[in-house]
Amino acid sequence: MYPILDANNQVIAYYYKNMIIDANLENVYGIILGNCIFGNKNAAVGKYFNHQFWDKDGKIMGTVNHQNVLKDIETPPHFEAQAWSLVMNIKDHQDFWITERKTWSSKNVAEVLSELLVAI
């Protein structure tokens, strides 16, 4: 399990087995299929590559810290159920191209994905 950091190097979530899990290790906020980031929306909200999360404008939404790896945890059954629910919600599988920028997005990946959960 890898911490996801924001622009201030604060842990905002965790990356584990293609799932983006909240910082409290309670819920799955999003999933990564291929290199696309999906939340509770029927289309991708960004991309994941080069150990960074990117929004559709190419701004950085988070970075994975490979230096502070948490040991693998026993995956709670509800993580898999939540991740599967997100997969089943995807209707738009179109990929998109982004151009990487060096600037940070105004919202980090955890904020973007948690807002989608509230919007249900």
- When mean pLDDT is compared across 23-27, 51-55, 69-73, the lowest value belongs to 69-73
Domain ranges within the chain, ordered by starting residue: 2-118
Q: Is the pLDDT of residue 51 over 90?
A: yes
Structure tokens of 98?
A: 């982004």
User: Three-state secondary structure along 13-55?
Assistant: EEEECCEEEECCCCCEEEEEECCEEECCCCCCCEEEECCEEEE
Residues linked to residue 70 through DSSP beta bridges, in sequence order: none
Asked whether 62 and 52 are in contact (CB, 8 A), the reply is yes
Structure tokens of 65?
A: 């810290």
Q: What is the pLDDT of residues 63-104, one digit of tens each?
A: 998 887 776 667 788 899 999 999 998 988 888 899 999 999
Structure tokens of 90?
A: 């995807």
In angstroms, the CA 33 to CA 2 distance is 17
Give the pLDDT confidence score for residue 66 in this predicted structure. Answer: 81
How remote is the C-alpha of 5 from its chain's centroid?
11
Asked whether 26 and 73 are in contact (CB, 8 A), the reply is no
pTM, 2 dp: 0.90
